C-alpha cells in the first residue's frame, strides 16, 4: 500500500470534473466540510449501496455544512447515468487517471477473493480547511454513510 493520510495531514489538492458539469478543486469546498469518498465502480452493488446511503443522508450532512463527493475512475457519462438511474444527489467526480486516488492512498494493491490486484481501495476522508480531520481505509459500503455522519457530529 502506498501512502496513508493521517488526521491533521494536508489534503492533497485536485481538479476534477463532476457529474453536474463543473470542475472542482479542494478550494471549491473551502467554506464547507468535505466528505470525500473513493469507490471502485459505478453501478456495482457495494458502490450503489454507498452512494444511495450518502444521498439519503444528504440533508443531514448539509445541516452540518458538509458536502459529500464520491470519486471513482468512471467517466462523467457513466457518473451521469449512475446518478440518474439511482436518483443520486451527491457530487460524483471523475478521476480516470486515478492520480487523485493515488495521492490519497486510495489506489493500490488490495486483496479480492484471495487474489492481490491493483485498484481503488474504498476510502473516505473528512476534510475541513484543507486538512484531514479523519481518514478511513478499506471501509465496508453498507452503513458507512451513517458512520461518517455520526463521527462528523462528534468531531464538530
Q: How far apart are CA 60 and CA 35, in angstroms?
A: 13
**How many CB atoms are closer than 10 A to CB 79?**
23
The CA distance from 38 to 72, in Å, is: 6
Handedness of CA 27, 28, 31, 36 (dihedral sign): negative
φ, ψ at 59 (rounded to 5°): -65, -30
In sequence order, the 6+-apart residues with CB closer than 8 A to the CB of 143 are 53
State yes or no: is 47 an active-site residue.
yes
Q: Which three cell numbers stand for residue 21?
A: 458539469
Give me Rg for the CA atoms of the chain.
14
Instruction: Tell me which of 16, 33, 47, 101 is the catalytic residue.
Output: 47
Residues annotated as part of the active site: 47
Amino acid at each position: 500500500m502506498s501512502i496513508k493520510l493521517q488526521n491533521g495531514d494536508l489534503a492533497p489538492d485536485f481538479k476534477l470534473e463532476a457529474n453536474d458539469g463543473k470542475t472542482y478543486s479542494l478550494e471549491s469546498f473551502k467554506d464547507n466540510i468535505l466528505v470525500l469518498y473513493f469507490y471502485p465502480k459505478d453501478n456495482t452493488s457495494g458502490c450503489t449501496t454507498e452512494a444511495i446511503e450518502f444521498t439519503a443522508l444528504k440533508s443531514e450532512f448539509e445541516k452540518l455544512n458538509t458536502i459529500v463527493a464520491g470519486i471513482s475512475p468512471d467517466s462523467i457519462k457513466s457518473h451521469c447515468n449512475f446518478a440518474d438511474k439511482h436518483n443520486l444527489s451527491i457530487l460524483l467526480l471523475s478521476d480516470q487517471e486515478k492520480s487523485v486516488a493515488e495521492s490519497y492512498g486510495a489506489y493500490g494493491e488490495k486483496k479480492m477473493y484471495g487474489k492481490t490486484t491493483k485498484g481503488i481501495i474504498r476510502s473516505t476522508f473528512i476534510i475541513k480547511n484543507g486538512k484531514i480531520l479523519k481518514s478511513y481505509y478499506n471501509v465496508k459500503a453498507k452503513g458507512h454513510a451513517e458512520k461518517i455522519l455520526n463521527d462528523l457530529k462528534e468531531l464538530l
